[in-house]
Amino acid sequence: MSIHFDEANLTSAMIGEAHGLTIGEVKKSEKAALSALESFKKQVDAGTYGFPHLPFDKAMIKAVSEHAKAKAGSYDTVCVVGIGGSALGAWALSCAMRGPHPVQGAFSTKFPRLVILDNVDPMFVEDAIATMTPKKTHVVVIAKSGATAESVSVFMILKAWLEKALGKKAAANVTVVTSEGTGDLKVLATREKYTTFHLPANVGGRFSVLSAVGLVPAALTGIDIKKLCQGAAEMTSLSWKADLSVNLALRAAQLHHLTWTLKGKTIQVAFPYSNRLWGTAAWFQQLWAESLGKAKNRQGVVVNTGQTPVGALGTTDQHSQVQLYMEGPADKVFTFWAVGKFAKKGAIPKAKIGLEGFDYLAGQTLEKLITAERLATAAALTEQQRPNCTVTLDKVDEWHLGAFLQMMEFQTAFVGELLDINAFDQDGVELGKKFTFALMGRKGFDDYADRFAEYERRQFRARKG
């Protein structure tokens, strides 16, 4: 495995017992970690949760690859319409493999470009559409529920935009990813004869990056989805091993759970030192927040648990966040995401300028500098007794990315087991969705319209004092 987990700076030997884990604390929790593995395995074997099976779904990988091959050359832009788990995986993959900022399309000289419409800010949507031509745009609309207001509304705009220009041929420029049995998107896809891929019912949005949800946009934009799934498959095999010295996801879950619950670190900072992993940080924030932020445990006891994920980009955020991280509340644990070998080195010219502030850098590389900055930040945080650990990807390619995404998903599932919560539901987002339906006049949501009206009345009274 060419992904490594360095836990040294989480230990009391490095940061003292108040913030760091003692050998005794770690030893004592090994049994619970192994039970978490066993319990999660049982649920996966029973078919309750499906993400571990995704990288082995050869038929899906083949079908998506063939679809991408058939469509190749017919578009210069892939426009993903989706939100949350239906968009962030595509963003993570594109950012890592093709360069940052897929929405803006900056930096990548490669076509097709990827535009991700994961919001209903009218300016964002209209400005993005203004950069695309219907004939050369392939729209991928993704919604597990088939009913998310944001995705449905933006797709309605794009559908009309395509049809105005292309008439009956518009359907060829649309691919749908949704659940097989439910939702109006599936009904529309059948009616319009859109090419459709299905998301297994036992795979939740934020765990779906290696299903058609992430694979379709990836394949259409030239990412090698076979290698991605190979890396993920290898990590899956490792993640089922009942051995904490080799099972990276389980070991990381065990130590993060302890650092959080024993040492009070309620904020998890994901700190990639690579712009290519910035999209993955956005993806991870959703995974960690929605999976572990829960009102009740599995016994129905109110626990209001959750560890707040924060993304920080090295080195950029050293000049923005690190002051807080060093001297602010001792409530954070940091996970550096390091790259062993960058594909480009960023050579700094050898020629000296004659000024010390410049000349020590002459002949070195940006790769060496970003690595030194990461090591320096880890050392500085450690001196301040701030727990931190490092996950290193030997390089950023499809294989490593697939393995890393799968490691994070297993780690999240294992922490969920250790907390005895259901990491796979998201009841907390439902109420807001229902209020939105009521406000937009959707049939069947009158109760929520009444509740919202009552909320507004209370607000009115509160403002009057």
In sign, the C-alpha dihedral spanning 24, 25, 29, 30 is negative
Minimum Å gap between C-beta 199 and ligand PA5 is: 8
Is 84 a residue that touches ligand PA5 (CB under 6 A)? yes
CA angle at 47 for the pair 44 and 48, rounded to the nearest 5°: 75
The residues in 107-146 that bind ligand PA5, with binding defined as CB under 6 A, are 143-145
> Nearest approach, Cβ of 212 to ligand PA5 (angstroms)?
12
Q: Which is nearer to ligand PA5, 21 or 83 (CB)?
A: 83
- Pick between residue 86 and residue 390 the one whose CB is nearest to ligand PA5: 86
| Options 41, 135, 198, 433, the catalytic residue | 433
Q: Tell whether residue 148 is a contact of ligand PA5 (CB under 6 A).
A: yes
Q: How far is the CB of 178 from ligand PA5 (least distance, A)?
A: 8
The answer to whether the bond into 112 is cis (omega within 30° of 0) is: yes
Closest Cα to residue 131, out of 89, 93, 161, 98? 161
Q: Does 426 sit near ligand PA5 (CB under 6 A)?
A: yes
Q: Which is nearer to ligand PA5, 204 or 387 (CB)?
A: 204
Q: Annotated catalytic, 433? A: yes
Name the active-site residue from 290, 398, 409, 417.
290
> Nearer Cβ to ligand PA5, position 89 or 231?
89
Q: Which of residues 345-384 bind ligand PA5 (CB under 6 A)?
A: none
Q: Which of 31, 168, 319, 443 is catalytic?
A: 319
Q: Active site includes 290?
A: yes
In the DSSP assignment, the letter for residue 442 is -
Asked if 83 touches ligand PA5 (CB under 6 A), the answer is: yes
Q: Which stretch in 79-87, 260-268, 300-308, 328-336 sits in contact with ligand PA5 by CB under 6 A?
A: 79-87
In whole angstroms, how far apart are CA 81 and each of 49, 190, 314?
25, 18, 29
Give the one residue of 9, 29, 86, 173 binding ligand PA5; rule: CB under 6 A. 86
Overall residue count recorded for the chain in this entry: 465
Q: Give SS3 for 444.
A: coil
Structure tokens at 397: 């390619």
Please report whether residue 151 would count as binding ligand PA5 according to CB under 6 A.
yes
Tell me how far CA of residue 137 lies from CA of 162, 185, 196, 224, in angstroms: 9, 20, 17, 21
Burial 145-168 (b: 16+ CB within 10 A, else e): bbbbbbbbebbebbbebbbeeeee
Distances (CA, A) of 107 to 98, 110, 112, 277, 459: 9, 9, 13, 15, 46
Would you name the residues annotated as active-site residues?
290, 319, 433
In the complex, which residues of this chain contact ligand PA5 (CB under 6 A)? 83-86, 143-145, 148, 151, 204-206, 290, 426
